[in-house]
């Protein structure tokens, strides 16, 4: 990993305040801080000498969510992976846009939100709805209030509530029989009381 650290260290001036890619500085810093510990050090005393900053704690939460994610793939099929990917892409793009506009760092909170949000969605939800809910959750549930630490609502639950109110049929009209293999046996309502296999 030292080779990667050296590459990032050499690229750092280009993404600094006076660099030619200064506009993308928050994105570069987010990648750098996710892979390696933050370069910021406390100067005043008293302080705790601990390498765990907020970014590292969020990484611990993601690691803690891995068993839940693996169980959801086992119970509901491989489509869960595509739902997670869409959640990260749609919400992550919003995070990057707001960080660039505000000239702030990218907040690590979305790493957790982007994984919690798809885990509370139905496995048959269309991917465009997954993206729409992720965008709503990040923009309205979090960024309108100032970002991480200032949001009134949990962005993951705000996105899910938006979908439940806006698209109730899609949110409640189908399911996967748990444990039916990696592809899952998909079922959805055709009319009240009738089920058809897809």
Mean pLDDT of 22-26: 84
Portion of the chain with pLDDT greater than 90, in percent: 25
pLDDT score, position 41 = 62
pLDDT score, position 77 = 81
Q: How far apart are the first and last CA of the chain?
A: 46
Mean pLDDT of 97-122: 85
Question: pTM for the full model?
Answer: 0.68
Q: Nearest CA to 147 among 98, 112, 195?
A: 98
Top mean-pLDDT range of 113-127, 146-160, 163-177, 184-198: 113-127
Mean pLDDT of 30-56: 65
pLDDT score, position 197 = 44
pLDDT score, position 189 = 40
pLDDT score, position 49 = 58
Is 90's pLDDT higher than 70? yes
Residue 191 phi, psi (nearest 5): -150, 170
Top mean-pLDDT range of 31-35, 150-154, 194-198: 150-154
pLDDT score, position 193 = 46
Can you tell me the distance from the alpha carbon of 152 to that of 172, in angstroms, rounded to the nearest whole number? 26
Portion of the chain with pLDDT greater than 70, in percent: 77
pLDDT score, position 190 = 38
**Each residue of 92-101: pLDDT tens digit?**
898 888 888 8
Is 191's pLDDT higher than 60? no
Distance set, CA 126 to CA 80, 96, 108, 192 (Å) = 11, 24, 27, 21
């Amino acid at each position: 990993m030292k080779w990667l650290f050296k590459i990032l260290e050499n690229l750092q001036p280009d993404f600094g305040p006076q660099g030619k890619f200064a506009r993308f500085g928050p994105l570069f810093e987010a990648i750098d801080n996710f892979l390696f510990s933050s370069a910021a050090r406390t100067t005043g005393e008293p302080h705790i000498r601990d390498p765990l900053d907020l970014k590292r704690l969020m990484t611990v939460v993601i690691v803690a969510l891995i068993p839940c994610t693996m169980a959801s793939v086992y119970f509901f099929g491989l489509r869960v992976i595509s739902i997670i990917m869409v959640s990260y892409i749609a919400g992550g793009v919003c995070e990057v846009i707001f960080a660039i506009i505000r000239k702030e760092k990218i907040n690590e909170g979305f790493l957790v939100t982007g994984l919690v949000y798809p885990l509370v969605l139905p496995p048959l939800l269309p991917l465009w709805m997954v993206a729409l809910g992720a965008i709503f959750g990040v923009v309205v549930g979090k960024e309108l209030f100032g970002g991480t630490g200032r949001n009134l609502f949990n962005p993951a639950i705000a996105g899910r509530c938006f979908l439940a109110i806006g698209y109730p049929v899609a949110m409640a009209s189908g399911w996967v029989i748990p444990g039916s293999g990696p592809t899952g046996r998909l079922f959805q309502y055709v009319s009240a009381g009738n089920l058809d296999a897809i």
